Structure 1
């Protein structure tokens, strides 16, 4: 009987051990969710799959390259995921690592699009400079942390008030996550492309820069001309009319799976200067 009790306790300890490991993995996934690390993690899985395939087909050179990548992968992961590891340790120190994470409902994406269109039209007519970046698949948490957190439901009035000149939050970018304004006065990476027109300022360079490193859609209102621009996938499209801008934004955010916008993008042409 004591032997049976010992076996049961050993079995129970193994179950608890497995559950704890899975819980820690789950929390780590929650930490990196919404960051660029998710895309890098997909790259790691690709390397592992290529390693298995190369072994199966006897591709020795490719197999050796993948083996070296995996051998040095641990050090690479520490370097690449340094911001995410730091965030996890900070949350652990604040006691938030094991707390329940709150999920944000995407209530009405059409309401988000309409609010952006209304605010952009208002600011363009009055030449109020604005920079609005909308998060999509690639997380933007690293850039959100550079600004002032708001976590407010999106509205045209809120966006307009943020960018009114000489207010504390007008300088920098607004980042939108689903139906919420996550943060304002955020710093975005500036594009180093040599093909950008000299007449374009920091807002346009930042909009193009963030589109080069994420799949976000970013809207720019020029303070000098009131012109509306939109960036996506490293392309800057300038001087959009209100109707074309509304169509593009709606197609990108409401119908991302459709290719209906491709013809319009090509018709406008790429205007990088």
Structure 2
């Protein structure tokens, strides 16, 4: 009865503040999880969750001795957590004092994007100078799993060294496309569909046709390094942006991969649009 009365006594203002209270609690929990993501604290939390579930189970099944032991672990465990993670707690408090706690996620995202672009730029620059052919597809909204299944799964972090080593001639994975999915290298030596357009310049080889072919049926970004000339190209939405300088490549890739659509103003001298030769 008291619970019903509490709900009936709610005013619109109380409802709004209660809703804000819930939102703030969830936001604080979210920020804590982002802070500890990728650290050893994640495994500790998993273990703590298992212990709490086990403690609840002991209450349900009447396992008094085991319940007492688990309760002792929980009671002393929080103190142990404070001692073990003193450096992390101190660092978080320092970030709060500097006003950086709520900026960390944005900064981490920007740092990760910059790292990925730099890794791609470094790898492409190395291969272009040495005329090492490469074909790299980056998944966006349209899934590329059917093409990933045609290659060798890697599931590896993106690094310039790994990209370069993959496309070194006469190595097992150099023939075919590398596919990047969720900012990780999903697979290499994958087969992509070839474009059937008759308007493609005859000077373009199989890599460029495969890049255009995939870009015609998906929204993927496909990076191509020519084995014959070392030229750098990007295919997207059925368009082939050719003979890019490293600066143009970096800017275009960043816009297509992470930036808002429609920002690119491509120069006609290095763009092939499927209706004319570049």
Normalising TM by the smaller chain, what interval?
0.5 to 0.7
Specify which of 261, 264, 267 is matched with residue 266 of structure 2. 264
Note closer, same or farther for the CA distance 1:113–1:178 as it changes in structure 2 (3 Å cut).
farther
1:169 paired residue number: 173
Give the Å deviation of 1:179: 2.0
Specify which of 198, 203, 226 is matched with residue 194 of structure 1. 198
1:217 paired residue number: 221
Q: How many residues align?
A: 167
Note closer, same or farther for the CA distance 1:265–1:139 as it changes in structure 2 (3 Å cut).
farther
Deviation string 1:156-207 (CA, Å, 9 cap, x unpaired) is 0000000000000000000001221000000000000000111111100000
Alignment of 1:19-30 (within 5 A): none
Specify which of 166, 170, 189 is matched with residue 185 of structure 1. 189
Deviation string 1:25-54 (CA, Å, 9 cap, x unpaired) is xxxxxxxxxxxxxxxxxxxxxxxxxxxxxx
| 1:148 and 2:152 aligned | yes
1:240 paired residue number: 244
Note closer, same or farther for the CA distance 1:265–1:216 as it changes in structure 2 (3 Å cut).
farther
Query: How does the TM-score come out when normalised to structure 2?
Result: 0.57
Given that 1:133 and 1:176 are in contact with CA atoms closer than 8 Å, whether structure 2 keeps it comes out as yes
| 1:230 and 2:219 aligned | no
1:249 paired residue number: 253
Provide structure 2 residue ranges, at least 5 long, that are not aligned to the other structure. Answer: 1-108
Give the Å deviation of 1:270: 2.7
Give the Å deviation of 1:268: 4.3
Deviation string 1:77-109 (CA, Å, 9 cap, x unpaired) is xxxxxxxxxxxxxxxxxxxxxxxxxxxxx8923
Given that 2:195 and 2:209 are in contact with CA atoms closer than 8 Å, whether structure 1 keeps it comes out as yes
2:128 paired residue number: 124
1:103 paired residue number: none
CA distance in 2, matches of 1:149, 1:223: 24
Note closer, same or farther for the CA distance 1:247–1:140 as it changes in structure 2 (3 Å cut).
same
Given that 1:238 and 1:271 are in contact with CA atoms closer than 8 Å, whether structure 2 keeps it comes out as no
Give the Å deviation of 1:253: 1.1
Given that 2:242 and 2:271 are in contact with CA atoms closer than 8 Å, whether structure 1 keeps it comes out as no
Give the Å deviation of 1:265: 5.1
Give the Å deviation of 1:232: 0.3
Rg: which structure is higher? 2
1:114 paired residue number: 118
Give the Å deviation of 1:266: 5.5
Partner SS for 1:108: helix
Note closer, same or farther for the CA distance 1:268–1:200 as it changes in structure 2 (3 Å cut).
closer
Specify which of 152, 158, 161 is matched with residue 162 of structure 2. 158
Given that 1:124 and 1:222 are in contact with CA atoms closer than 8 Å, whether structure 2 keeps it comes out as yes
Partner SS for 1:114: helix
Q: Whose RCO is larger (CA < 8 A, sep 6+)?
A: 1
CA distance in 2, matches of 1:247, 1:125: 19
